[in-house]
Structure 1
Amino acid sequence: MPAFKMGFQKLQGTVCVTGAGGFLGSWVVHLLLSKNYLVRGTVRDPLDEKYAHLNQLPNASSNLKLVKADLLDYPSLFSAIQGCSGVFHVASPLPSSPVDLIEPAVTGTLNVLKACLEAKVERVVVVSSGAALMMNPSWPDTRAMDESCWSDVEHCRAIENWYCASKTEAESKAFEFGKANGLDVVSACPNLIFGPILQPTANASSLLLAKLLKEGHDLEDNRHHRIVDVRDVAEALVLVYEKPEAQGRYICTSHSVHVKDIVDILKDEYPSYNYPKNFTDGQQKKEMSSEKLQRLGWSYRSLQETLVDSVESYKKAGLLD
């Protein structure tokens, strides 16, 4: 499985990654360890077997410590963050229902930032989402969305898109807190994240891709997706952490495609799977631009590499059996 470029690095200091055991969090931990950072990863239970993959990463035995923390439990967060020079806030709370997304997302993010302020952290990287940009009815159709575009929270509430509302609220509150308290906050807004999995269980986007290979629907919704590789997102997060000139938001997206385009690539590589037979007419979404992130030095993998590496990891994990 292609991963990151490894090489000798001097010790980079201690950083904290919230939600270290998830799809993206695992790759962020992997990259930081490969760059010889000391990493504290927050998880719900450090002894749970579902986090065992983290302890098997290169340099984990010497440079990784898993700690128990909950986004809604401030003392546990402060304990995890104290003594760190940087924090990557990757975790999202698990709500009891979709409508309950907003308050824990905002409270959890503010708890992390308050702990960072108290612990005198130098920079916080907040993982937001393209969802915090894309629900903006007033944005011109002919103009690619850039970092100045924010989702309209009232519009999100009106159409009951609680995920977009929660991501928008949490990110905007993070910047408000940083500005008011002199805390260096930068954010990254990735879109739909594909790529190989490190964790033993499937996440939502992995299931979405696996279903295209397995379920063989007679008619599939030819939805439009903006896609980015999980490894490229991890590299973007570390890039905006390490570059002193980084500031504000960074859209993190690579490929703008329809579901049929994804299936066509997969069919060429893996012709024997049970693909959808027909597709609806696909509607085009407004484009998003990662130009600001690319100016900082970011680049991304081909869609074919992302899809092939995804499928190979699913096969290894038994998701396609």
Structure 2
Amino acid sequence: MTGDFVAVLANPFAGRGRHRGLLPGVVDALGVGGRPVRILEAHSGAEAEAVCHAAVAEGAAAVVAVGGDGTVHRALQAVAGTEAGFGVVPAGTGNDFASAVGVPSQALRAAEAIGLALRDQRAHRVDLALARTARGDRRWFCAVLAAGFDALVNERANRMRRPRGPRRYDLAIVLELARLRARDYVLRLDGVEHRLTAEIVAVGNCASYGGGMRILPDADPTDGMLDVIFASRLGRAHLTRLKPRLRLGTHVSDPRVTVLRAREVRIEAEGIIGYADGERLAALPLDVTCVPGAIRLLR
């Protein structure tokens, strides 16, 4: 690993602000790596990506994301495909990527593990997914791309100003269920076309999203493959009964649910905005490719 400093991107609002006092301890724990630690200042998602890109360009030995999957997503845009190390200190509402790749769940333990990995110059290669939009824009993601009902819920919640906090998401679910309709999709998995009508469609590099919902329970971020799930027409009642099973991943035993694997996936549908790692990407169609070993994970 090159560079002489560790860049830290911290989201003070991650985990609904529960971890605001965490940063000094994280900095101390990272210090066992023997390199100075630089806190990156950002006030928006775009600024977060810009300061991470600048740190990598300056030769940072590593970029460390302190937060949840959204913070990880921002940092990955700069680190993916480079030789800079990448570390995650889980401090968000949803820490699905950290859980999938074996990061300690306790934040200070995770930070110390990153510091020790830097000191010992060891890293683990982990896959990422690379999404390309119809305009040719590229976005990396680490966990799951939602392209069905959950994407519609996210889009509605982002348009709502009230209520604040998690209740807004709960209300968005109720409102989207009230207007639920299956959509026509065209999926191409390694060139093989699938035409279907569905409410649930997702592509995953990791097993879970949304803070532990195991939408793709067998997804492995080190196997060079993407897992793809879709369900035949479910309807409101069946979808409502299926959703609680996501926590255990048992929904995949439902005969209406199909899980396939591919290296390259294209998703086409009208009226859907794709969300990856909980972040808004772009309207479908989206082309998604698994990039093996795209990051050097420190843990």
Would you tell me which structure has more helix in proportion to its own residues? 1
Higher relative contact order (CA 8 A, sep 6+): 2
TM-score, reference length from structure 1 = 0.29
